[in-house]
Each structure stands twice: as C-alpha cells, then as structure tokens.
Structure 1
C-alpha cells in the first residue's frame, strides 16, 4: 500500500431523468478529477439519473395515480443495467483518467422481473474494469416506493494500492451492524454517497471516521429546482418547494474524526485532498474496532452474503 493518495469528491447535480447526459457529465467530471491528479474520484448517491427529491410519484397510502406511474416509467427508462452500455462508458473514462471511480446510479434489475430499481454504488478500477457494486440495503422513507432492497451479496470492500475501499449509501450509515460489517472487512477509505445535507449528517460521518479509524469521503449533490425537466408529469408539485433542493455539504474526514476538507455548500465543485495513509495506523494506536479494541469473546456479527434471488428459486 502506498502512503499517499489524492482523492476527489465530486459535488454536482444530475441531469435529471436523462441518463445519456448524466453519463456525459460524469465522464467530463472524471476527466477533470484525473487531470488534477486525483487517483480516486467519488460521486453522490443516485447521480445517474437522479435522486428524485420532491417527487411523490403520485403515491399516498392506499392509492397510486396514473401520473405518478408515468413519472416512475420515465425514471425506470433512465435507469441503467449493470453491466451495460453506460457502465462501459464510465469504465472507459476511468481508464483514460487512470482513476478509481465510485458512482451512485439507479440500477434496473436484470435478474428476475426487470421491474425493480435499486439504488446502487458502482466501483471502477483505473484499468476501466467494473470491480463490483453495492446495492442499498434499506431505502429510507418514501424511497421505498421506488427502490427495492439490496441484500448481503453486495457488501464489497476492494483492495487497492491505496488501501481497502468500500461504501454504504446515505442512511445505511445509521445502521450499526452494516457499519460493523464494513469495519470487519477492513475498510480504510470509506465512501458515503448521500442525499442528506442536514447538520446531523456531519456528526455522523465524523463519528464513522473515528469509530472505524478510516478516512470517510462524504459526497452529496448540489441541485436546484430548475434542473428538473418540465415534462415530469408531477412538476406542479414543485411550485411550493425551495429553489435549492440539495445544498451540497460534501466533505472529507480523517481517521480521528476531524475534517480534512470541511463541508462545502451552495455550488457544484470538486473537493480535493491528499490523504496520508499512515494516519490510519496512527489512529488505531489507541482504538481498533476489529483489532485490539474488539471483544469477539463477547460480541459476534453474522452477515448473510447470499443472493436473495437465488434463495427464492432454490
């Protein structure tokens, strides 16, 4: 493992409900990050084709509307298959830039019905290879209307020259056992794509860094109401919500829980930082959650890493 790595946290808004233009924007941002010397570039949750903040999809308890179904169809059509043509394009961009890329997408199921969507983080190597993916285990609140639940088969941590990289998405980071599973796999660069820019989120990512003795790269979108296309059927719902839908707040945290790059608000930007990987071992001197500070004689964690789709047909 090398001692230094330059990381790029991409705070940008989606080209909402347009997967082709989202991919084009992602490719340009990967190129920018690589051109500025980054070796790892991370993107927000659901960057392709959107985190659909403010959209109801016409759903209330006990009923769904025809207009909401049309909006879901638009969202479904602009989701991507994994692997697929869009992942090939992103992989090629990662290869040209020579960077590891972690990017949030909405993934269309290919394994069973093809109707279910997943909120997924994809991992690409600097050789352009799609290394793997993590599907969000538990969509939060109304997200459950549009996304299915991932399972334990997509909880990867990848070995790289810059340490072990893994990700949990948004409020999965409030799941203590999910975090414990990541720590048990030795995560050192912990990626937290999110749609949360509340002040409490920053306490969360600082706690995770201190608890896991890892670097945390927290990445959120900056998005405004005018990024949403007029053809969304439920566009009328947007008239009473603020112009700034997501204020950003991306940041980078050290293994002692201190900001290396403090949250940035109110704009699209790329945040860069040079990480000294020796700081992980220094932080583990007095606390290592799965090493000398663990009590496996008292506490044990069992993780089911089987694919649920296989269990259903066995």
Structure 2
C-alpha cells in the first residue's frame, strides 16, 4: 500500500446572507474559490448554511413566529435546484470536494423541510445526500425527521468521507454506522449559537465546549480526522430575530458562540479553533490514523460482533409509493 499524501482541508466558519439563497450561494462560491486558491482539496460548510439557522425557534413561542416559518419555507432549496447546481458547477470548475449544509424543501409539501447536507465530488457529482435523523429540541418546530439513506461513507480521491449534522454527533449508533464503513474523514456541521437558557439564568449550553467534547470523542473512537464547520451569527440575523423581544435580542448577543476546528485521530485539535469569520485550514495525512488503530479499533479487533449487532434501514422515506394495482378476473371466469 502506498503512503498517503498530505491533504489540505478547510472549514468555512461563515455566516450566510440571511434568508437570501442566491446571495448565500455567491458567498459560498467565493469561499470555495478562496479555499481552492489556498490549495485545499475539501471544504466543509456549516449546518443550514443555505440560508440560515432557524434560531427563532429557541426564543419565542410558535404562535408568534409564523412569519419566520413562512419565510424559511419559501427560501428552502431543493437538492436538485439551481442553487445546488451552481455549487456543483463551481466544485467541478475548482476541482474541490464540498460538504454543503442547507434547509431542504420539497415539491410534495410547501411546509415540509429537512435539515440536510450534500457531499459533492470534485467533478460536481452528488456523492451523498443526508437528512438529519432527528431535529434537536426546538428544531422540531421547523424541521421534519430524516432517514437512514444518507448514513454512508463515500470513497473519494482524498479518502473515505462521512458526516453528521450537529446533535447527531452525540448519537453513538449514528457515529458507529460511519466508523464501521471505514470512515477516515468525518464532517460535523453546527449552528452559530444554540441557546438553552436566557443569559444569566443558570448554567446554559456552551456549544463550543460541546463541540470539542463530542467531536473529539468521535475522532478518538473512530481514529479519524474530523472537520468541524460552524456558522456565524451576523447583525442581519440578530436584528431580524431580535425584534421578537428584548430577551431574544439579549440572548442572541450574549449566548456563547460556536467555533470551527479540525481534530486529529488522537482526539486532539490540530492548531487552534476558529471563532472569527473566515476559513480554517489544516494539512493532514491519513497515515496518521494507522498508529491509533493499534490501541483500540472498535470496528476491527477491539469489539465483539458475536455479542453486538447494528442494523440500518437505508430506505429513503416518501409520503407516497406507487405500485401496480392487482387486476382480478371477473367472477366465474
């Protein structure tokens, strides 16, 4: 087996253009061009980068946020829509692998939305389409549960890539499903903030610390690299959602922010995390995964497959299935 070559990867610690899909795509392509110019082979974007994280669900009752949901549903994009086509064309032009987070809509229902990611190859092809299995906490007010169709690890020219969305990185079964497919590069995308209490009201959720704990644990257990891309909350989002109440604006301004980071197969960060908007880079070598596998290989010798068994349903869920209607012969014939 040949020695692995060094690979440059990038995490986009970036804000979208709030609720503006076309402009968010333009910004994403600009970041892709910057990453490619820097020599990166792979770039990861935050959760629901196209076109914003529905943070209002944490800050007000659903009976007063109908206008937010209506806007959110209208700007949701299709997995085969023009916005994604533009990203795919740019990936092909730049020779760049891209993981893109987006809120996905469907023509089957104007109100059905998924929290989704697409893995796009350096030739512009769609390598994987994942929908978040379970929306977390208040996210259930806007996103519907996904399915197991996207729990896949894909072979690419730079290695075997898998990924999960936000809180899925806490789910041991979802993480193991990717480990057991030989994952070498794991992507984890997160929102810019995730308030669970008003500032000053007890110990709230520190999303930066939560990211470090669970993504470090995944890298340590899988003996893989993890690229974490988190969103940024800009003034446009704060001003729009902050109009809900003074408490909402205070929470948006004072709640701890997410960070982006790149983690090695020993569970340690490579360099410092990024908290300011921009691109975070690291040069990695997949051969670094091999030594760590000697210590504990939970998908190899360090497990008991005669004791434990995990089964995954990869069927894409649909609201309607068409089939042939049985034709019965007339009575007496």
If the length of structure 1 is used for normalisation, what is the TM-score?
0.90
* Cα distance change of structure 1 residues 72 and 233 upon mapping to structure 2, 3 Å threshold: farther
Aligned-partner Cα distance in 2 for 1:229–1:312: 42
1:271 Cα deviation (Å)?
Answer: 0.7
Q: Where does residue 202 of structure 2 map in the other structure?
A: none
Equivalent pair of 2:21/2:50 in contact (CA under 8 Å)? yes
Equivalent pair of 1:53/1:245 in contact (CA under 8 Å)? no
* Cα distance change of structure 1 residues 56 and 190 upon mapping to structure 2, 3 Å threshold: closer
Quick one: which of 103, 120, 126 aligns to 2:122? 126
Q: Which runs of 5+ in 2 are unaligned?
A: 195-206, 324-333
Which deviations, in whole Å up to 9, do the C-alpha atoms of 1:55-94 show, x marking residues without a partner? Answer: 45863xxxx43x5222111011111001110111001111
Equivalent pair of 2:57/2:141 in contact (CA under 8 Å)? no
Aligned-partner Cα distance in 2 for 1:229–1:207: 32
Equivalent pair of 1:137/1:172 in contact (CA under 8 Å)? yes
Q: Where does residue 4 of structure 1 map in the other structure?
A: 6
Equivalent pair of 1:122/1:130 in contact (CA under 8 Å)? yes
Aligned-partner Cα distance in 1 for 2:241–2:259: 27
Aligned-partner Cα distance in 1 for 2:42–2:34: 12
Aligned-partner Cα distance in 1 for 2:143–2:35: 30
* Cα distance change of structure 1 residues 130 and 289 upon mapping to structure 2, 3 Å threshold: same
Quick one: which of 43, 47, 52 aligns to 1:45? 47
Which deviations, in whole Å up to 9, do the C-alpha atoms of 1:30-70 show, x marking residues without a partner? Answer: 010011100000011010110122445863xxxx43x5222
Mapping 1:168-247, distance limit 5 Å: 168-195=164-191, 197-224=207-234, 226-228=235-237, 235-236=244-245, 238-243=248-253, 247=257
Aligned-partner Cα distance in 2 for 1:186–1:123: 17
1:100 Cα deviation (Å)?
Answer: 0.1
> Which structure has the greater CA radius of gyration?
2
* Cα distance change of structure 1 residues 246 and 8 upon mapping to structure 2, 3 Å threshold: farther
- 1:166 paired with 2:176, answer no
* Cα distance change of structure 1 residues 255 and 239 upon mapping to structure 2, 3 Å threshold: closer
Aligned-pair RMSD on alpha carbons?
2.2
1:295 Cα deviation (Å)?
Answer: 1.1
Q: Where does residue 284 of structure 2 map in the other structure?
A: 275
* Cα distance change of structure 1 residues 299 and 311 upon mapping to structure 2, 3 Å threshold: farther
Q: Give the strand-richer structure, 1 or 2.
A: 1
Quick one: which of 292, 298, 323 aligns to 1:289? 298
1:20 Cα deviation (Å)?
Answer: 1.0
Equivalent pair of 2:208/2:258 in contact (CA under 8 Å)? no
1:232 Cα deviation (Å)?
Answer: 6.3
Q: Where does residue 269 of structure 2 map in the other structure?
A: 259
Aligned-partner Cα distance in 1 for 2:49–2:220: 27
DSSP-derived class of the 2:318 partner: helix
DSSP-derived class of the 1:258 partner: coil
* Cα distance change of structure 1 residues 292 and 79 upon mapping to structure 2, 3 Å threshold: same
* Cα distance change of structure 1 residues 115 and 175 upon mapping to structure 2, 3 Å threshold: same
1:299 Cα deviation (Å)?
Answer: 0.8
Q: Where does residue 31 of structure 1 map in the other structure?
A: 33
1:244 Cα deviation (Å)?
Answer: 6.0
1:288 Cα deviation (Å)?
Answer: 1.2
Equivalent pair of 2:57/2:139 in contact (CA under 8 Å)? no
Aligned-partner Cα distance in 2 for 1:33–1:123: 16
